[in-house]
Structure 1
Amino acid sequence: MVELTKVYETDESVISSIKTLENGACVMMNDEENTIKKFILRDGICEFVKIFEGDILYLTVTKEGNILASDGVSEVIYNITESGKERFKSSASPKKARGIHTLGDQSLCVGFVDFENLEVGIAIIDMKSDQYQEFAITPADSIPEKITSNMNGNICVIQSESTSTWKGIIVSYEISPSLGQVNWRYEGNAHINELRDFAPSDIAISHASLVLIVDSSSNIIHVLSSNGCFLTFIGEGEGIYSPRSLNVDNEGRLQIGSDETKDEFAKIYIAKFIT
């Protein structure tokens, strides 16, 4: 399914998120040290530049290259620059913004939780106006942690059971024309997750519409078809250890960020898809 082409060493403890910026650059987040760093993979070396340090848990990148982030404990979406963070948009208080994802050129998907009123859902915010719509997600006690989208504009959401564990499910929702309609659910593989709970920590969709999910409990990446059917998995057999985050870059390559192990710092793996 994939062939590992390059491994880049870092001095990070964890790479919890990777997103593509303009001109081949990328940005990564370390949610243990609360840092966001821009990096370039060049001449076999990963060159890092720290651009932000602060309480941020989720990030996304707009087509213009702006870095947007949420902290998981407030309704505010921030615009991250080298000078710090500025208020960009917000979900309606007291709804706390969780996972965020840019959808097309103009819309921002925001997963939210409202512990006071026991509401969880997805908000669709127009980035250039005040237009706002939302829908509830099920189960009603799940937490929308990570969001991505396919070429049809449908979204896939990691929904965790609680704030203290990654145990959860993947749910695909339609955005248009039937806002919030469930397309499919994925709760792990019966064989892989027989002894270990399915614990998704990140999700990405390839240019060929394959859905890739990091399962942190099993240290593998589940590979699904576009309609949520399990196809295979990748991991140590391909030379990939302790995966944590996923990104498909502009050239269609798979970037995998890892956790540190007892012997080595976190790595960035680069893989190409094999047809």
Structure 2
Amino acid sequence: MNGRPISEAPEQSLYGQPQVSFRPNDFNSVIWAHGYDIICEKAIRCPCQGNSGSPLPDCQNCHGFGYFFVNPRRTKALVTGLNRNTQYVQWAPELMGTAAITVRDEDKDFLSYFDRVTVEDEYASFTEMLVAREMIGDEVAVFLSYAPIEDGIVAVYTFKDSESPLIKLDPSVYEIVPENPYCLRFAPGNVPPETGVSVLYKHMVEYHIIDMPHEIRASLGKDKKSGQFQILKMPIQGVGRRTHLIDMQRPNYDGSGIIYNDDNDSDTR
């Protein structure tokens, strides 16, 4: 520690004390056998903030969020909702959309604060009201909080007036832009700019890690051959929260926010 002298605490005698040793491989086997397929992406603070400490709204790396995400890794995790068991604990709104996410110790580098975790095995339904924006030419579009799965747009409604039924748009007049999976584009003449649009769609469940209650988790165990104590690395657990409950910015229609900075990707788009 920078050459500073460090005093040592006296050892605790364990003579005659019963020892309980965990078996990490059993935990890891449970995660691999019963866990969900997930993709973890590392969160890195975007340097666009400079001395101001505030991200640039037009930054195409973090799309104004302040973090960009790199090096996706597919692995498995146990995912348990924190508000699921409310028999003895009062339901708490601050736990809404949160889940405990447990991975093997070897995946520790891919589960830390603000990292993004996407569950591939399951999808969720989500609805939001968005304001249509005029794009290049006559195109009008809205930007969704999540990327819909294939054929995931269930319904799109627009408002006429207070005394008329809502207008349900025919699927032929809208599409997800291939270059930007967050962008829902409308055919010209169907949705005026600055019009409210309600969208119901399906998407893969996505979290951001907001807490690490078990960031350090290890135990002592005996080596079978030498009998010496050794450190046993245990599974790591983080608390994730759904993306739409965090102040996120959506990628723009022109491609902002979808530049890739992965280590193994020479092409940035």
TM-score bracket, shorter-length normalisation? under 0.3
**TM-score of the aligned structures, taking structure 1 as reference length:** 0.20
Q: When the two structures are superposed, what TM-score results if normalisation uses the length of structure 2?
A: 0.21
With a CA cutoff of 8 Å and minimum separation of 6, indicate the structure with the bigger relative contact order: 2
Higher share in helix? 2
| More strand as a share of residues | 1
Larger radius of gyration: 2
